[in-house]
Amino acid sequence: MIRSPFEQRPLDAAVADAGTALLEFDRARVWLRAALVGAVEPLGAEVWVLDPALEQIVLVRHPWRGLVPPGGKVEPGECPRDGAARELAEETGLRPRLLEQPAAVAVRSFQPGSPVTMSLSYAAIGDPEQPLVGEPGQPATWMRLDQGWDSCFPDDVVRIRQYVNLLRSGSAAW
């Protein structure tokens, strides 16, 4: 399939970030290799904003997804890392520096009945004292990682805890 540079640049960035992501879920890298031969649905990107003690995370109350990390669709021509940072700022008002290595790559559907696509998760360390400015109808909040939360992605809490354990053990740089 021939893609314009505008279309190819975000895919190249997604492939690079997926290859260096600390964690892989849902055989995302295999899915991505197969998906690249055709049209790739819009990519997803999110940010796991953790407090310095690695005990809390910022979540957004989505109208039908429940509590989820800030994120969304990567816009045409936008690299996933840039899309994640943009979505974070739009949904929370936060603009922390994203950690260099992507936290995770997964495959999921973001709407019932929609095809699956690749989602990249990035991480950042944020200040719980900084005010959160959520979008209308989607308040943002800090949630303790030792508590569960209601989400349409029930594996998220386990996956994020797995990442935090890697940070605590020194297996991931932050």
Q: What is the average pLDDT score of the chain?
A: 91
Kindly tell me if the per-residue pLDDT of 112 is higher than 80: no
- Using the structure block, give the residue that is written with the tokens 């944020």: 126
Q: Are strands 23-24 and 104-108 parallel, antiparallel or unpaired?
A: parallel
Kindly tell me if the per-residue pLDDT of 6 is higher than 70: no
Kindly tell me if the per-residue pLDDT of 109 is higher than 90: no
Look up the pTM and report it. 0.91
What would the CATH number be for the domain defined by 5-168? Answer: 3.90.79.10
Give me the mean pLDDT over the 12-19 stretch.
91
- Cα–Cα distance measured from residue 28 to residue 32, given in angstroms and rounded to the nearest whole number: 6
What confidence category does residue 73 fall into, taking pLDDT thresholds of 50, 70 and 90? very high
Instruction: Give residue 155's pLDDT.
Output: 93
Instruction: Give residue 72's pLDDT.
Output: 93
Instruction: Give residue 171's pLDDT.
Output: 81
Backbone region of residue 28 per phi and psi (left: phi > 0; alpha: psi in -120 to 50; beta: other values): alpha
- Cα–Cα distance measured from residue 50 to residue 27, given in angstroms and rounded to the nearest whole number: 25
